[in-house]
Amino acid sequence: PRKERRNYEEKVASRSKSPQKRRSVTNSFDYLNSQCHLEGCSASIVVQSTRFLLCRHQLCHASDYFKNLFLTHRKHEDIEIAVSGISNPSPATQFRWFIESCIPCPALRDITDDTLETCMRLSRRFQANGLTVRCSKFIIENVHSRQPIVALCWLNWCLKHRFDEQVQSACLPIVARLSLASLEQHRHMMSERVFANILAAKLRGCYEKAVHVFRTIHQMDHFSVDVEQCPRCGRTREGMRVKINAIPCRKQIGCDRCQRQGCELEEKAGEDLQAFYQCPHALLPLNDTTDECYCQSRMLAVHLGSAYPAKRPEDMTDLKPHTSSPSRKKK
């Protein structure tokens, strides 16, 4: 039995030393110029069944990964690399996009919506800092013209491939335009910190919109009417009616001659206007520094899906605890 075991080990060892079968190359891309052929600075990169003939100097300048890779390989041998585990598009196509986007052959390929994610991923994979800068510039300059769901995909790629804060910040205002339901549905595409920042921005925007709504309603309360005589100064016009203006914020009414002051809110438009909410217990401002009244806990629990104590019969009209008054003695 010991002899059989030795023979089995010898077979395994001999099998491991056998030369590996090389993949047949069925396609080739030549990015060399005439100067490269004269100086002999060509490099052969094989991705699956596709060979890429590239300039060593250009590739080392564009990518630190290949700069270190060439130090461990002889000059004229084929270098096989693994590009990505993603099969669509093919790894050869992905590598071609990478090469044409970071090496001028003869000009750099423009980054598009179709090639953006591949260029972002491979710029990190092959340590191509120049391509990383190009991807960042493309996102910053174009994200404002894209739909919010596209901006969310770009933000997801920025987080996944660890692009800097400036690029992520350029995507946030566009992503924040999505509805709350869409943000919750695609919550897995962003970090918890980014999700919290977007919700905080949307909530502060709601506070400002509430101020705008109340201001618009107030402007609608201002009205003008034609009467025979101004009730304030007694002004009349022969054969014509006098136009008077009602200003509810000043509690005044009068014609253009006796009433020169306009809307009080318009005069304070440069200041911070504040909207308020009236609950059964208080008049509370709608802003980011005021706590909610305790009577809002039940409503918040519903939206959070949290359990909340059942409402007692004595609290149906008011959630505020009632103070018990001393009982009267019967005479």
Q: What are phi and psi of 58, to 5 degrees?
A: -65, -40
**pLDDT tier at 271 (50, 70, 90 boundaries)?**
low
User: Could you tell me the CA-to-CA distances from 207 to 271, 299, 300 in Å, in that order?
Assistant: 15, 18, 17
315 or 291: which leads in pLDDT: 291
Q: Judge if 176 and 127 occupy the same domain.
A: no
Determine, yes or no, domain membership for 90: yes
Evaluate if residue 238 carries a pLDDT over 70.
Answer: yes
Mean pLDDT of 103-107: 81
Q: What is the pLDDT of residue 176?
A: 94
Mean pLDDT of 73-94: 83
Q: What is the pLDDT of residue 54?
A: 85
Q: What is the pLDDT of residue 161?
A: 93
Q: Judge if 44 and 134 occupy the same domain.
A: yes
Is the entire prediction scored with pTM above 0.85? no
Q: What is the pLDDT of residue 295?
A: 87
- Across 13-27, 141-155, 190-204, 294-308, least confident range: 13-27
Determine, yes or no, domain membership for 326: no
**pLDDT tier at 321 (50, 70, 90 boundaries)?**
very low
State the Cα–Cα distance between residues 205 and 225, nearest whole angstrom. 36
Mean pLDDT of 244-264: 79
Q: How many domains does the chain have?
A: 3
Evaluate if residue 129 carries a pLDDT over 80.
Answer: yes
Range of the domain at 304: 274-313
Q: What is the pLDDT of residue 232?
A: 80
- Across 63-67, 119-123, 157-161, least confident range: 63-67
Q: Judge if 109 and 34 occupy the same domain.
A: yes
Q: Judge if 150 and 52 occupy the same domain.
A: no
Q: Would you state the structure tokens that stand for residue 154, as one six-digit string?
A: 């770009």
Q: Judge if 114 and 164 occupy the same domain.
A: no
pLDDT tens digits, one per residue of 1-33: 444 444 433 333 333 344 445 567 778 888 888
Mean pLDDT of 48-54: 85
111: left (phi over 0), alpha (psi -120 to 50) or beta: beta
**pLDDT tier at 70 (50, 70, 90 boundaries)?**
confident
Q: Judge if 37 and 66 occupy the same domain.
A: yes
CATH classification at residue 132: 3.30.710.10
